[in-house]
Amino acid sequence: MTKKTAPASKRRNIPDPTIARLPRYLRSFPEFVHANRSVISSKELAAASGINPAQVRKDLAYFGQFGQRGIGYDVKTLDAKMREILGLHKVWRIALVGAGHLGTALLQYGGFTKAGFRIEAAFDVDPSKVGWELEGVRIWATPAIRQVVREKKIEIGVLAVPASQAQRVADDLVDAGVRAILNFAPCILAVPKSVLVRGVDLASELEHLTYFLDKSREK
């Protein structure tokens, strides 16, 4: 039953696109479970996630030999392995800064709790929100970031504030010991190299679409 895991020497330098695809695989498993498919082929997994089958096999093989030749991959095993690889075997403590509509949407978003994330505290500048709870999460005043993040040993900060405030908040989060930031503000954050940042820019995504829409009109 126990499957080989790739040795540490081999596990290095996994391509970033591979990492980015793992969540996609993860998201397609429930569909197979629901259809009572306990074993699936790379072809099926590929079809379900819109990726080339060879790519799927290569991606998975970076982390070990999870499949059985001639048979396929055990969905449950694969699901567990993917979660482990993505670091989802532990619960990550998150601070949400900005309890506006976007922040509230993130608090409500079931995907987080399910996937092993716990929003430990929320912060907002609006005094009328401070002290209240939203989805069971206490809202603090923004200046409390340093203290609360430190006390609760929060590891990841999620920024749902206007761009004008983003850098200042990021500085506080970094100062309080956060190791990664997910930034929804449309700006580039300056942080120490040891802190990871991923930006999600909603307008950029639309602009990417309009590039192709406009281009296809030309033809």
Partner DNA sequence: TTCTGTGAATTTATTCACAGCA
Partner DNA sequence: TGCTGTGAATAAATTCACAGAA
- Provide the binding-site residues for DNA, judged by CB under 7 A: 15-18, 40-43, 51-55, 57-58, 60-61, 65-73
Q: Supply φ then ψ for residue 196, to 5 degrees.
A: -85, 140
From DNA, a second copy, none, interface partner of 15 (C-beta below 5 to 8 A by class): DNA
In the complex with DNA, which residue's Cβ is closer, 82 or 161? Answer: 82
Record the tokens describing residue 32, joined without a space. 């197979």
Residue 98 C-beta: closest distance to a second copy, Å:
10
The SS3 call for residue 157 is strand
Q: How far is the CB of 147 from a second copy (least distance, A)?
A: 22
Which residue pairs from 123-127 have beta carbons closer than 8 angstroms and sit at least 24 positions apart in sequence? Answer: 123/95, 123/96, 123/97, 123/98, 123/99, 123/148, 124/97, 124/98, 124/99, 124/100, 125/165, 126/99
Q: Which is nearer to DNA, 57 or 146 (CB)?
A: 57
Task: Summarize as ranges the residues that interact with a second copy (CB under 8 A).
Answer: 8, 19-20, 22-24, 26-28, 48-50, 85-88, 90, 92, 94, 100-102, 104-106, 108-109, 111-112, 115-117, 155-156, 158, 160, 179-180, 182, 186-188, 196, 198, 200-215, 218
Choice between 79 and 172, CB closer to DNA: 79
Q: Find out whether 159 and 182 touch, Cβ atoms under 8 Å.
A: yes
Residue 18 or 142: which CB sits closer to a second copy? Answer: 18
Question: What crossing angle do the helices spanning 42-49 and 53-61 adopt, rounded to 10°?
Answer: 110
